[in-house]
Structure 1
Amino acid sequence: MTEEPIRVAVLLNSESVNEWQRRVLVSLFESEEIDANLVTVIINSADTGDSTIRTHLSELSLWKVLRLFHLLKYQFTGQPWYKKRTVLSDIDFFDDLDKIYTQPQPTDGLGNELSSEAVECLDKTDIAVRFGFGIVVGDALTAPTYGILSYHHGDLRRYRGRPAGFHEFVRGEPTAGVTVQKLNESLDGGDIAAFREIDIHDATSWPAVLSRLYEASPDLLPIAVTNCVTGNMQTDPDTGALYTIPSTRETLMYLREKMKRYSDR
């Protein structure tokens, strides 16, 4: 490890973070095992969209109907713990930090390039943690000394893409993974800096799987930063199939698996 504190940048889509992300950052910046300082916050100034009820009323599919059901349910029960948001001003280690606002530029291929200003700021850091800006490509990936770390809630050696945890549940997997990867130009194919396998055999819904994956996430970031700095990573891992937004068939598979797991309780 370095003798000096590790200079960390955080990439965000807004001036607030989800609860699971807040816990991840607390785990790093309040760790007794690693000396890391937050020095730069880069915020996406583009309209990143939202997940409102209105967005699910257009071009309805069975998957969108399922997501709409969850959104309506949360109107009465409240958001699940991992989705609750905290503004940066209420988090101590964000105090007195200069924030950089920048709009990513979509490439001709897959992903977004960050502005030259953002890249210059990243160049003055040791490592970055990505919680925004979508798929990042280009010079930003190599600007921090040790690169950019990002969470993939799945074992990228078996399940790449999204939605996190959904396809494992649908296929009756007894476990799912949480991966912290060092990003490269590939999609969910970066070097593995930290990994944990999570038991989901008795989870009765996709949100229940998500809750377990997010709950297991915080402790992994200090491990990932340490491994990234020391070079103790799984490089060029074999990668699994790339999954996307569920089809009608996969959504029906989900409902069937959910009913099966409820009946097995």
Structure 2
Amino acid sequence: MPEDPIRVCLLTADETLPAWAAAAVEELVAETAAEVTLVVEDATTTERSAGDAARRLVELREWGVVAAGIELFGDELPAERSVPIRSIEGVADADWVTCEPDTVDGWKHRLPERAVDRMADADVAVRFGFGFLVGDALTAPEEGVLSFHHGDFREYRGQPMGFWEYVHGRDEAGVTLQRINETLDGGEVVTSRRVDVADAATWGEVRQRLFDASEGMLADGVRRLAREDVEPETLAADELGDLYTHPRGRPVLTYLGKTARGVLLG
């Protein structure tokens, strides 16, 4: 990767980024030789019908009710506030491409050739959208595509972020910046951090701390890739932690009880 400048492509879900991601990009531009030269935006428009929403609620069972309540009545975390991408320092002059990815195997996304061709002009891409990527987009930039995982691959994979660490009463949680490939959580660890969550009273506090810890990791990761003496770490399959998904049954009750105690004591 050239040291001056480092051409960065952002892969985004729309014309905004959550505040934590916007802060990470601003720090990247401010503290390294990086320049955001391209934004590739997902132009897919999906509208879920009332029937789809009802079926999804049934699939999630008791967690669907809890998640709906959080969405309707919970406070938005500062880190999740939407920030217009064009307002981010260092991004206003970037070229902009919109595209709709092709769906592969029912859930993976492959970017169209015209987007991949533009990405080849970048040194590295950062994924903030498009879901699980496959295909030539992953290798079009010289240094590949970076993606955040708010968890430690060695312990917790899957979703929801930070939920299981909170329910299990862990003292720490992790954040990982990974160079992704076509395998689930099988990419290379560029940089990672441990985050103290021992005294976090609510799941929201856990998530906020993980987002806060993410902000400086993008600049650190790009600096590491620029150094010839630093190699990203590849984890073997037996080093990966359990894969979690949306909770059901007892974990939901544990979450509700712990949240109630956290709110009352907080």
Relative to 1, partners in 2 of residues 1:204 and 1:56: Cα closer, same or farther, differing over 3 Å?
farther
Relative to 1, partners in 2 of residues 1:127 and 1:178: Cα closer, same or farther, differing over 3 Å?
same
* 2:122 is the counterpart of 1:125: yes
CA distance in 1, matches of 2:115, 2:98: 8
CA distance in 2, matches of 1:25, 1:182: 17
The Cα of 1:226 is off from its aligned counterpart by 1.8
Aligned residues between the structures: 258
* Structure 2 unmatched ranges of 5 or more: none
Which of 164, 169, 187 is the aligned partner of 2:166? Answer: 169
Q: What corresponds to 2:226 in structure 1?
A: 229
CA distance in 2, matches of 1:253, 1:118: 45
* TM-score after normalising by structure 2: 0.89
The amino acid that maps onto 2:215 is P
CA distance in 2, matches of 1:126, 1:219: 19
Q: What corresponds to 1:150 in structure 2?
A: 147
* 2:243 is the counterpart of 1:245: no
CA distance in 2, matches of 1:217, 1:128: 17
Q: What corresponds to 2:258 in structure 1?
A: 257
Q: What corresponds to 2:6 in structure 1?
A: 6
The amino acid that maps onto 2:246 is I
The Cα of 1:264 is off from its aligned counterpart by 7.4
CA distance in 1, matches of 2:189, 2:176: 7
The Cα of 1:111 is off from its aligned counterpart by 1.6
Contact map agreement 1:146 1:229 (CA 8 A) in 2: no
The Cα of 1:242 is off from its aligned counterpart by 0.8
Q: What corresponds to 1:196 in structure 2?
A: 193
Relative to 1, partners in 2 of residues 1:111 and 1:65: Cα closer, same or farther, differing over 3 Å?
same
* Secondary structure in 2 matching 1:64: helix
Relative to 1, partners in 2 of residues 1:56 and 1:221: Cα closer, same or farther, differing over 3 Å?
farther
Q: 1:1-265 alignment to 2 at 5 Å?
A: 2-31=2-31, 34-47=32-45, 55=53, 59-60=57-58, 61-74=61-74, 77=75, 79-108=76-105, 110-230=107-227, 231-237=230-236, 238-259=239-260
CA distance in 2, matches of 1:107, 1:199: 38
CA distance in 1, matches of 2:94, 2:30: 17
Per-residue CA shift, 1:93-148, capped at 9, x if unaligned?
22232211111111126521111111111111110000000011111111110110
The Cα of 1:249 is off from its aligned counterpart by 2.8
The Cα of 1:177 is off from its aligned counterpart by 0.3
The amino acid that maps onto 1:69 is G
Q: Give the aligned CA root-mean-square deviation in angstroms.
A: 2.3
Per-residue CA shift, 1:128-185, capped at 9, x if unaligned?
0000000111111111101100000000111111111001111111100011000011
Per-residue CA shift, 1:43-101, capped at 9, x if unaligned?
00102568xxx957963532122122222224xx5x22012111123223222322111
CA distance in 2, matches of 1:156, 1:235: 11
Bigger Cα displacement from structure 2, 173-182 vs 62-71: 62-71
* Secondary structure in 1 matching 2:57: coil
